[in-house]
Amino acid sequence: MSTQAEDVYSTAEARHADGVDDAPVLNAFGGDWDDVVSEAAALNEERIVVNMGPQHPSTHGVLRLILELDGETVTEARAGIGYLHTGIEKNMEFRTWTQGVTFCTRMDYVMPLFNEASFCLAVEKALGITDQIPERASTIRVMMMELNRITSHLVALATGGMEMGATTVMTIGFRERERILSIFEMVTGLRMNNAYIRPGGVAQDLPDGCIDKVRETIPLLRKGIHELEALLLENPILKGRTVDVGYLDLTGCIALGMTGPVLRSTGLPHDLRKSDPYCGYENYEFDVPVEDTCDAYGRLRIRINEMHESLKIVEQTLDRLDANPGPVMVEDKKIAWPAQLSVGSDGQGNSLDHIRKIMGESMESLIHHFKLVTEGFRVPAGQAYVGIESPKGELGCHVVSDGGTRPYRAHFRDPSFNNLQATAAMSEGGAVADVIVAVASIDPVMGGVDR
């Protein structure tokens, strides 16, 4: 908040000397913080107002919580967001449809492949090519997303455990996550922010030895997840911190638009992979874990059970990949971004064989390659929305095209943004220490909230 006022350091002589005579003077004040304090003073109340943050209280990013306390009890809680704003959605309006992938992958950086998938599925819907995506590309997308779901849940459990003082949970969680990130690096050349899923398919096929590496990693992941189960599920200290903490029933979830593990902890088995399948999820056998506790402990159990289900899906994708060696990019050459890539010492790029072909054999291919990469393809005027089931809930992408080579608008329904609304409902009436557990059970990533 700012107001125009006189200032002892801004006399007429001083302003004239600075060449800004008659310019208004703006003094900045504390905004909502002043409002809270003045309200308490007017009511003659003795209230403690605490700023928890801006910092990382069980979140992955910078969150500010404004808490009003009566002793150790939280009487009011508000979330202050915007400290990690990157302008990703706005930046996407100035890049081609394919280049947009390199931006949206950085929103919720704990689940980059889901960000890419929601955007690409929306672009493909707007192009009308959803049914033309090669089966192998969809299978690779499912494999990568389910592995990414496991890494996201591992981060949620690891950081949530560390916030409660369980450092061993942190070390085990990140140890298992490293196994999957090494697979991501093998496939995409990057551990995070992969920009691997592209409109029309994926950037490149799986490298030699990848399927074998995934098969070898699955038993190790199962063992690591079982270690977490043994440490957590029947631990009396953890149950004392999480049972009946962060309570939010089905009515509250529906009113706030909650999705993901928070919603499924109320007993409702809502999962877009089942209710509105995409990428061929209707062809996979898996269960949707639910609990009926409506609390942080139930969400913990759901995330562990979901990791087991994701491993089952990954095993099915490996069998499908072995049986289907087809292409990984749509056939339409006016849309298909070059997918003949390789991972070299300097990162991911066009393979030498592909470069030799387009530069030495076909001038038309070279010209088309140049125009496709520099200008991009056009998307017919219109709009499309696609929602997918991310580790945190429904992640939706709404794209609007004016018929050009860039999005007129790309907007995301990030589940962390919606789910963070529940902070007040979960925290008010509980202890200050329980705020950390409640927020950790939501598992918000501020990169997605402040995109």
For residue 59, what pLDDT is reported? 62
Ordered by start, the domain boundaries in the chain are 88-335+377-449
Question: What's the CA gap between 391 and 306, in Å, rounded?
Answer: 9
For residue 202, list its beta bridge partners: 197
Helix (H) or strand (E) segment spanning residue 342: strand 341-344
Q: Count how many residues are written for the chain.
A: 451
Residue from 222, 389, 227, 239 nearest 300 by CA: 239
For residue 214, what pLDDT is reported? 94
**Full strand arrangement of the beta sheet holding 382-390:** 382-390, 393-401, 409-413
For residue 307, list its beta bridge partners: none
For residue 79, what pLDDT is reported? 87
The answer for residues whose C-beta is within 8 angstroms of residue 107's C-beta and 6 or more apart is 88, 115, 412, 414, 447, 448, 451
Task: List per-residue pLDDT tens for the chain, 451 residues long.
Answer: 444 445 444 455 544 555 555 666 666 555 566 676 676 677 666 678 888 877 765 567 788 888 888 888 888 888 888 888 888 999 999 999 999 999 999 998 899 999 999 999 999 999 999 999 999 999 999 999 999 999 999 999 998 888 888 889 999 999 999 999 999 999 988 888 988 999 989 988 898 899 999 999 999 999 999 999 999 888 889 888 889 888 999 999 999 999 999 999 999 999 999 999 999 999 999 999 999 998 999 999 999 999 999 999 999 999 999 888 888 888 887 888 765 665 555 555 666 666 676 666 667 777 777 788 888 889 999 999 999 999 999 999 999 999 989 999 999 999 999 999 999 899 888 888 888 899 989 988 888 888 8
Residue from 115, 105, 338 nearest 205 by CA: 338
For residue 56, what pLDDT is reported? 65
For 39, phi and psi rounded to 5 degrees? -65, -45
For residue 370, what pLDDT is reported? 79
Question: What's the CA gap between 302 and 290, in Å, rounded?
Answer: 6
CATH class of the domain whose range is 88-335+377-449: mainly alpha
| Contact (CB, 8 A) for 440 and 157 | no
Query: Which ranges in 324-451 belong to alpha helices (H)?
Result: 352-360, 363-374, 415-419, 423-427, 432-442, 446-449
For residue 85, what pLDDT is reported? 84
Helix (H) or strand (E) segment spanning residue 176: helix 167-188
For residue 179, what pLDDT is reported? 94
